[in-house]
Amino acid sequence: MAALELTQQGDTATLQEHQRALLLLLREFDRVCKKLEISYCLFAGTLLGAVRHGGIIPWDDDLDVIMLREDYERFLRQAPQELDCGMFLQREFSEHWPMFFSKLRLEGTTCLEKYKPRDPLIHQGVYMDIFPCDNAYGSALLRKLQFLASKVVIAKGLDREGYVTDSKKKKCFMAVCRILPNRPFLRFVKGPKKMGEQLHSFLGGASKYSRSVYPAAAFGETRTVGFDGLEVLAPQDPDRLLRILYGDYMRIPPPEERKCKQHAILVDLTRSYEHYAHYRDDMTFDVHTRSIR
């Protein structure tokens, strides 16, 4: 990992130092996927960054990749034996991670976000997100029901994680979902076993139905793209996917719209998150995380 050494000036990392750590994760993820012959794609803001900026969006502080469900589950099974010892795979629905997607974390680091974990043993190192991409039903009605079912799965995960929101509607919905079982909703979200003409990322980053359903052909082929000096995988036709996700994706948002995109409130590349166990006890969050690209 010498080519992308971590450096940190002062007590906490700058955004640029944080982004260099993210590239370490992406490079290791890509290496393992290629070794195991598992396909993936850059996704969401990371794909947008590759196309619009040639790498991480300058004001972004996370990385997203997406995998077809079969590849995703094989990665979760096989990657732990292949990953560098400085990496931690935080698997979906594991003992100390209640969420519906997975993360690759950097050991010995800290990335505190805008929530207070209910479980003090949740790993909170610097991370990249790994999302599953599932089969959508052919019926428009069933796809809508998949989307609604995903909201239950998401709400239950966020509630157990300790998600902080200023929305009364979200708070009420999470409270209702708390009593619902997770398994049948998740099974329905995953959709039919056989891939049809459409796929979805309801368990991914977009909150709107219209931005979460894609032609299966959009993920049919991948190509190598440059990403801040790395060579990683993206859809063969990224324009098709980015237009669904963002519309006019080449528009640069003004500076005043960018703050709510940042997830982290503290990043330390030299000390583990255990060092900050009580850092957020008395904190309040006046700017909540929302999607802005």
3-state SS of 143-192 is HHHHHHHHHHHHHHHHHHHCECCCCHHHHHHHHHHCCCCCHHHHHHHHCC
pLDDT in tens, 129-142: 999 999 999 999 99
**Alpha carbons 100 and 163: distance in angstroms, whole number:** 14
C-alpha angle with apex 64: 58 to 70, nearest 5 degrees?
A: 165
> Tokens in use for 167?
């929305």
Question: In the chain, what are the domain boundaries?
Answer: 7-138+217-276
Instruction: Give the mean pLDDT of the chain.
Output: 91
The DSSP element (H or E) to which 264 belongs, if any, is strand 264-268
**Alpha carbons 250 and 242: distance in angstroms, whole number:** 9
- Name the amino acid, one letter, at 242: L
Please name the residue that has the structure tokens 């998949």.
146
In DSSP notation, 178-235 reads TTS-SHHHHHHHH--SS--SEEE-TTSS--SGGGSEEEGGGGT-EEEEEETTEEEEEE
More confident residue, 61 or 162: 61
pTM for the model stands at 0.91
C-alpha angle with apex 122: 16 to 177, nearest 5 degrees?
A: 110
pLDDT in tens, 165-180: 888 999 999 999 999 9
**Alpha carbons 111 and 85: distance in angstroms, whole number:** 19
> Domain 7-138+217-276: which topology?
Beta Polymerase; domain 2 (3.30.460)
Which pLDDT band, with edges at 50, 70 and 90, does 205 fall under?
low
